[in-house]
Amino acid sequence: MTGLLEGKTAIVAGGGRGMGESVSVRFADEGANVVVVDKVADRAHGVRDQIIERGGRAISLVVNLRDDARLPTVVDGTLAAYGAIDVLVNIAGGMRLETAWRPLRDMDPADWDFVFRQNVRWVQLLSCAVADVMVGQGTGGSLVSIGSVSGIFGAANHAAYGAAKAGLIHLMKSLALEYGRYGIRCNTVSPGSIRTPGVEGMITAEQRARDEITTPLGRAGLPDDIAKAVLFFASDLAGFVTGQMLVVDGGATVRFPLPSPGAHPSESLT
């Protein structure tokens, strides 16, 4: 059976761990030539080797995506290896844990700038560079970014990350408008609580129990849950979908925050 991405070339920016690793491996399993981009060499090469061992096709590029001067090497390296770019997935992001939760009045401007560079600036630069290549190819393409439920709902003491992810969601909508005429689709996947390897080690038994109670599907998400959603947007299954955002959170953000009288514990936030 032909994979959903058979013969396509996909860049996974931030593809060396967690959600990025799952996207890279799933794309390869679906027939894509995968370009694993990560700032840590061992991670990038490790995922590349994993894909090759599974019978897939992949190269790895060691690039710090926050370094504007290095971004062209992602495009150049991909074209040198495979001659085309069909999909770009923007995954790398996040925040400094030590400054992630603090009131706006206490937010250092340097920390604010770091969060926006980490989550928005490089995405805009790389997405435009890749989209321009796709325009030249004349065959369309797909850009997918990883947002967050933090970019949709407010959270006290968490404004920088939320504002950055909200900006990222808007960025993808704007790219959809500007590049739609060329058949380039631009969408966002916004995860809720996802148990990546990095997060798993910091989660307490109490937090796991809370996820089971507060999430309608009764569990936290896994990296492959995100990979499947990204695959949808990247593939021809979403051929008439652009400028959209898909929340993948097990239903956690669906509920109204106040439980009704006599509600089942699974319907309560407490």
Would you please indicate which residues are annotated as catalytic (active-site) residues? 161
Calculate the dihedral angle through the C-alpha atoms of 75, 76, 77, 79, rounding to the nearest 10 degrees: 80
Classify residue 241 as exposed, middle or buried by CB count within 10 Å of its CB (0-12, 13-18, 19+): middle
Measured CA to CA, the distance from residue 205 to residue 253 in angstroms comes to 22
Q: Which residue has the tokens 């990038």?
A: 44
Q: Which residues pair with 87 in a beta bridge?
A: 10, 142
Element (H, E) at 207: helix 205-214
Angle CA 242–122–142, to nearest 5: 25
Cβ atoms of 88 and 14 closer than 8 Å: no
Cβ atoms of 123 and 68 closer than 8 Å: no
43 phi, psi to nearest 5 deg: -70, -50
Contacts of 149 (CB under 8 A, 6+ apart): 190, 191, 192, 247, 249, 252, 253
Classify residue 151 as exposed, middle or buried by CB count within 10 Å of its CB (0-12, 13-18, 19+): buried
Token pair of 107 as six digits: 């937010």
Cβ atoms of 5 and 31 closer than 8 Å: yes
Token pair of 211 as six digits: 């996820």
